[in-house]
Amino acid sequence: MTSISRKLIFWLAVPLSLLALCGGLLHYFNAIAPQLKHTDQFLREAETSLALEINIVSGQLRITGNSATGVRFAVRDRAGALLAGDPTLPTNTNDGVETSGYRTQDVGGQRLRLLAAEQPSIAGPLTVTVATPLNRDEAAARYSLLSTILWDFVYLDITLILVWIGIKVGLRPVLQLRDEVAQRSPQDLRPLVAATAPRELAPLVTTLNRLFATLRSSVQSQQQFIANTAHQLRTPITAMLAQLESLAAEPDARPIQPQLASLQEGVRQLARAANQLLTLARADPAVNLAAKREPVALDALSREVVAKFLDRAVQENIDLGADLRPVSTRADPSLLDDLLSNLIDNALKYTPAGGSVTLCTGERSGQPFLSVEDTGPGIPPADRARVRERFVRLPNSPGHGSGLGLAIVEEIARLFDATMSIDSGANQVGTKISIVFPAAASAGAAAAIAATADRA
């Protein structure tokens, strides 16, 4: 992933480094080059004057005049033998190759500027070398050049560090906006505060607020659609069941009682599947972005749900009991009712006659929970992840369910930041499904319920 701050630092570091190098070169040409040029001109004049004063008399080299005063010189023949002057001066500008030109070299512990040139004479070509010490000003200029380049790069490093800090500080509003959006739950579609955003981020905040408004409108439309669909489905199915029951009570319908009973069971399954699909749609976080959250007493709600299933439990010879301790959370009561109803319905469906189903509520480590435990065949550990998926039924499952019960439970639990766990029951018999809610929700719900009780 590309980093804006790193990209900015890179595009600042490269041109600033080039500027520092250009500044060093400019300093060099302004401070050192003129001095070298002056020294080289002096050496060229000295070499020319010295060449004019070289004479060969009776096979002996003689230098007339005093133009070589103030410079060190050496005159050598083609073989490199010293004919006159300082024997310590080198004869060439490149090691092993005799060439004419300027060079700077340490000779005898002294920094010299040298000029070697070839001059014709009666005795053959001669190599004339002249040298002069580099003055202190030139050495100081070189030191100044190095120190300037060093300081330029130190200054560049400090500048880049300050720029990096400035970028971090400048991007802080972006990070704050990111954190504000990241900390929101999927249900929180409140507009962002545009007044406190920097001018550069104002268009982004406006766009996000427009997106949130669109999502709110979409959520409201989908919720309205779900409500209308529920009404349109439940009404005819209920009427159909009533008509079938009325028809089954007629004496003339006795010959077709088995077919009517089968038809009634099919319509009941259709009604249950329709209700489950609608509940699953209501619990979907993508649709239920604005889920209602109000204080709910889990123990009181559990009593109501258990009462709805008592007749069925008695008919199926199943002991339906409850161990309810006062505890509260914040959620939508109707969705929690659906969650409990699906858990108890599943437990009754899979528990054989003579078995038991127990609903518990309470608090563990400051977190409210509810659990439903049965004495049915249980769910193998390898299949406990699969049964959470939609339309998944284990082999040899009783009845004709749609495989949506636990999927609905998990969706509703996730909607309210709760977690669902599937374990074995007591003594490794049956299944125990637990829903654990957030601790903060428990504290807030308890305070709200207490305040309501005080007002009452």
Separation in Å, CA 337 to CA 38, 122, 222, 243, 341: 100, 124, 21, 28, 6
Flag whether 177 is in a domain.
no
What burial class does residue 167 get, using C-beta atoms within 10 Å of its C-beta: 0-12 exposed, 13-18 middle, 19+ buried?
middle
pLDDT of residue 135: 63
Contacts of residue 324, defined as CB under 8 A and 6 or more positions apart, other chains included, come to 298, 299, 302, 303, 359, 360, 361
Contacts of residue 441, defined as CB under 8 A and 6 or more positions apart, other chains included, come to 293, 329, 330, 331, 368, 416, 417
- Quick one: DSSP state of residue 185? -
Q: Comparing C-alpha atoms, which of 410, 402, 392, 399 is closest to residue 376?
A: 399
Q: Do 385 and 253 have their domain in common?
A: no
Flag whether 368 is in a domain.
yes
pLDDT along the chain (456 residues), means of 10: 72 80 72 74 84 72 65 82 83 51 82 84 81 69 71 80 82 85 77 82 88 82 70 77 85 85 82 74 62 87 94 94 94 91 92 94 93 93 88 70 81 90 92 91 58 52
Flag whether 26 is in a domain.
yes
Q: Comparing C-alpha atoms, which of 323, 271, 332 is closest to residue 299?
A: 323
Contacts of residue 434, defined as CB under 8 A and 6 or more positions apart, other chains included, come to 369, 370, 371, 420, 421, 423
Query: What are the counts of helices (DSSP H) followed by strands (DSSP E) for the chain?
Result: 10, 14
Q: Do 296 and 436 have their domain in common?
A: yes
Q: Comparing C-alpha atoms, which of 75, 57, 48, 64 is closest to residue 122?
A: 57
- Are 50 and 67 spatial neighbours (Cβ–Cβ below 8 Å)? yes
The count of domains in the chain is 4
Query: Long-range contact list for 315-321, CB < 8 A, 24+ apart?
Result: 316/348, 316/353, 317/353, 317/354, 318/348, 318/351, 318/353, 318/354, 318/355, 318/356, 318/357, 319/355, 319/356, 319/357, 320/344, 320/348, 320/356, 320/357, 320/359, 321/356, 321/357, 321/358, 321/359
Contacts of residue 243, defined as CB under 8 A and 6 or more positions apart, other chains included, come to none
* Identity of the amino acid at 64: T
Flag whether 13 is in a domain.
yes
Show the tokens assigned to 35.
């001095």
Flag whether 181 is in a domain.
no
Q: Do 378 and 263 have their domain in common?
A: no
DSSP H or E stretch at residue 85: strand 82-85
Q: Which residue range(s) make up the domain with 154?
A: 4-31+141-170
Q: Is the torsion defined by CA of 60, 61, 63, 64 positive or negative?
A: positive
Q: Do 11 and 109 have their domain in common?
A: no
Q: Beta strand pairing status for 356-364 and 319-324?
A: parallel
Q: Go through 429-443 and write b for each residue having 16 or more CB atoms within 10 A of its CB, e for each that does not.
A: ebbbbbbbbbeebbe
Count other Cβ atoms within 10 Å, centred on residue 456: 5
Q: Do 299 and 205 have their domain in common?
A: no
Q: Do 210 and 159 have their domain in common?
A: no
Q: How many CA atoms lie within 13 A of 98 on its CB side?
A: 13
Flag whether 180 is in a domain.
no
* Identity of the amino acid at 406: L
Q: Do 265 and 319 have their domain in common?
A: no
Q: Do 230 and 154 have their domain in common?
A: no
Q: From CA 258, how far away is CA 385, in angstroms rounded?
A: 39
Q: Do 202 and 303 have their domain in common?
A: no
Instruction: Indicate the residue among 255, 290, 325 that finishes a domain.
Output: 290
Q: Do 250 and 357 have their domain in common?
A: no
Q: From CA 101, how far away is CA 128, in angstroms rounded?
A: 11
pTM comes to 0.53
Flag whether 198 is in a domain.
yes
- Are 261 and 302 spatial neighbours (Cβ–Cβ below 8 Å)? no
- Are 237 and 271 spatial neighbours (Cβ–Cβ below 8 Å)? yes
Q: From CA 187, how far away is CA 286, in angstroms rounded?
A: 9
pLDDT of residue 153: 78
pLDDT of residue 430: 93
Q: Do 200 and 71 have their domain in common?
A: no
CATH number at residue 51: 3.30.450.140
Q: From CA 82, how far away is CA 86, in angstroms rounded?
A: 8
Flag whether 176 is in a domain.
no
Q: From CA 44, how far away is CA 49, in angstroms rounded?
A: 9
Residue with tokens 């009973």: 261
CATH number at residue 336: 3.30.565.10
Q: Comparing C-alpha atoms, which of 202, 152, 130, 136 is closest to residue 173?
A: 202
| N residues, the chain | 456
Q: Do 123 and 192 have their domain in common?
A: no
Q: Comparing C-alpha atoms, which of 113, 92, 110 is closest to residue 39?
A: 113
